[in-house]
Amino acid sequence: MAVTGLLFIAFVLFHMYGNLKAFAGHDAFDEYAHHLRELGTPVLPYGGFLWINRVALLGALVVHVACAVILWRRAQAARPTAYVVQRNRSSSLSSRTMRWGGITILLFLVWHLLNFTIGKINVTGGATSDPYNLLVDSFSTWWLTVIYLVAMLALGMHLHHGTWSSMQTLGLTNSPRSRAVAKRTGWVVAIVIAGGFALVPLFTLFGVISK
């Protein structure tokens, strides 16, 4: 679970960087989207690298979710009788919402793929063939931007605890200093990635990024 989590962190960091290309305008964003489909050519067919990446990420997602279910079942089996009082004094909000945050992210991922990748749904009724214009049309719609921002909040909280948990699992929190570093790393990863993703829909909604 820790290894697949770190893989997803690397992916969303790269994906966030690509999204920020929207600030460079229509041509820069569409050129970036086109370049992704040309990676590996002529060894790979057009778009082949993206499909290899998608299959690998899908496999990692299955492993990640399966591990989460297994760990949850182990925790349930270890404590078949629930605590009478749950104070959660030593746990963070991020750790307590990991399960529901993961479900939220998973549901959002389905819509995100339908919106921009597989189905390419334009909620305004406009064209879907141009990546930049589809992005602007989508995030110019206030309710869609709200859904996206809620998902980014869930992602940030998931990344915050997930980064710490991954580093702990891999034996990188064996001293007070390393634990402090892991906690700071969790905050940095969460703020940079979730905050970076949130910039594009917000600046689009307020008209800074436009057609």
pLDDT digits (tens, 9 = 90+) for 80-120: 665 555 555 556 777 778 888 889 999 999 999 999 988 89
Report DSSP letters for 63-106, one per residue: HHHHHHHHHHHHHHHH--SPPS-----SS-HHHHTHHHHHHHHH
Q: Write down the pLDDT at residue 119.
A: 81
Which tens digit of pLDDT belongs to each residue from 17-41? 999 999 999 999 999 999 998 988 8
Distance, C-alpha 150 to centroid of its chain: 12
- Count of beta carbons in the 10 Å neighbourhood of residue 39: 15
Q: Write down the pLDDT at residue 84.
A: 52
State the Cα–Cα distance between residues 23 and 203, nearest whole angstrom: 9
Model confidence at 189: pLDDT above 90: yes
State the Cα–Cα distance between residues 21 and 31, nearest whole angstrom: 10
Model confidence at 140: pLDDT above 80: yes
Quick one: DSSP state of residue 24?
Answer: G
